[in-house]
Amino acid sequence: MTQLWTNVKQWIALYGLQVIGAVAILVLGIIIARMVTGIVRRGLKRAKVDATLVSFLSHVIHFVLVVVVVLAALNQVGFQTTSLIALLGALGLAVGLAVRGHIASLTSGALILFSRPFRAGDYIEVAGAAGTVEAITLLSTQLKTIDGKAVYLPNTKVFSDKLTNFSAKPIRRIDLVFDIGYQDDLAKAKQVLQAVITADARVLADPAPKFMVLDLAESSVKLGARPWVRRQDYWNTLWDMNERVKQAFDQTGITIPYPQRDIHLKTRAAAAG
């Protein structure tokens, strides 16, 4: 027992200060890591960075700082950290190769949250899917389609694919096409079309709507109208315009022809008996 106590006192005399220093480094380092993480988190929130990205970056920064503190504490007590750093590097490389797909999604998610090409509530079309954005995480983007389906897209696809945001601008143009017969009065049809469009209070005066003859097709003359509306009025205005123009054409005797084609039959005289 006396020998054991003697060995303990010798160990304390040799390594006591190093252990105390390592503990001090560990405690102070963890406190400083928390303070730095808190400062970064508050700075990101003031910069109005997405909450998901704030949480992710804060955890990454805190983890890295704690690892540095632990390595510094181990080095204080004489532990050779060079081999440990090499081991951690090799382990990190192996893990990175195993989850490189998830890392790519995380990176893409972070870039989406930073660049903000769309936000929750926007109607977008990307990677062959279209719908209203319900949630944006670091791994995927969730859309709700117009028929109530939930679509989950990996952020690698969302970030690398062509993306159309229908909610990015405050106003949208409606492209309307109506067919009339060749026998109808073109000027009258344009006048009726213009009256129906401009009478709608949802149609903006600036930019002014445009009216034109789009094409002389096989069976009809195609009239076009290009009114501008607020984006939230787009669909209802489109549907209402189709109905009202059809009713106005019916009331004024303007026809909407069916596709038609003239067929000429040639008969061959029967061969003489």
pLDDT at 97 over 50: no
- Please tell me whether residues 186 and 136 are part of one structural domain: no
* CATH code for position 126: 2.30.30.60
Letter for the amino acid at 256? I
- Please tell me whether residues 15 and 53 are part of one structural domain: yes
Report the mean per-residue pLDDT for the chain. 82
H or E, element range at 223: strand 221-226
Cα torsion angle, 111, 116, 122, 126, sign: negative
- Please tell me whether residues 128 and 189 are part of one structural domain: no
- Please tell me whether residues 124 and 92 are part of one structural domain: no
Instruction: Please enumerate in sequence order all residues whose Cβ is within 8 A of that of 66, keeping only pairs 6 or more positions apart, or say none.
Output: 29, 30, 33
- Please tell me whether residues 89 and 123 are part of one structural domain: no
Nearest to 51 by CA among 113, 132, 106, 108: 113
Task: Note the pLDDT of residue 116.
Answer: 83
- Please tell me whether residues 204 and 227 are part of one structural domain: yes
Flag whether 211 is in a domain.
Answer: yes
- Please tell me whether residues 89 and 138 are part of one structural domain: no
If you average pLDDT over residues 166-179, what whole number do you get? 95
If you average pLDDT over residues 195-213, what whole number do you get? 96
pLDDT at 98 over 70: no
* CATH code for position 196: 3.30.70.100
Flag whether 226 is in a domain.
Answer: yes
Flag whether 219 is in a domain.
Answer: yes
Task: Note the pLDDT of residue 80.
Answer: 63
Of the candidates 165, 181, 204, which is a domain's last residue?
165
Question: How many structural domains does the chain have?
Answer: 3
Quick one: pLDDT band at residue 7, thresholds 50, 70, 90?
Answer: low
Percentage of residues of the chain with pLDDT beyond 90: 41
pLDDT digit string (tens) for 131-170?
A: 999 988 878 899 999 999 999 998 888 988 999 999 999 9
Are 25 and 72 a contacting pair, CB within 8 Å? Answer: yes
Flag whether 233 is in a domain.
Answer: yes
Are 150 and 143 a contacting pair, CB within 8 Å? Answer: yes
71-75, 165-169, 268-272: range with lowest mean pLDDT = 268-272
Please give the model's pTM, rounded to 2 decimal places.
0.62
Flag whether 230 is in a domain.
Answer: yes
- Please tell me whether residues 74 and 30 are part of one structural domain: yes
- Please tell me whether residues 177 and 152 are part of one structural domain: no
125 — alpha (psi -120 to 50), left (phi > 0) or beta?
beta
104 or 137: which leads in pLDDT: 137
Flag whether 157 is in a domain.
Answer: yes
Are 192 and 233 a contacting pair, CB within 8 Å? Answer: no
Quick one: pLDDT band at residue 250, thresholds 50, 70, 90?
Answer: very high
Flag whether 24 is in a domain.
Answer: yes
- What CA–CA distance (Å, rounded) separates 13 from 16? 6
Are 211 and 223 a contacting pair, CB within 8 Å? Answer: yes
- The parent domain of residue 48 ranges over 9-98
* CATH code for position 87: 1.10.287.1260
Distances 92 to 39, 100, 196, 219 between C-alpha atoms, Å: 27, 11, 66, 68
Nearest to 123 by CA among 175, 163, 174: 163
98 or 44: which leads in pLDDT: 44
Flag whether 246 is in a domain.
Answer: yes
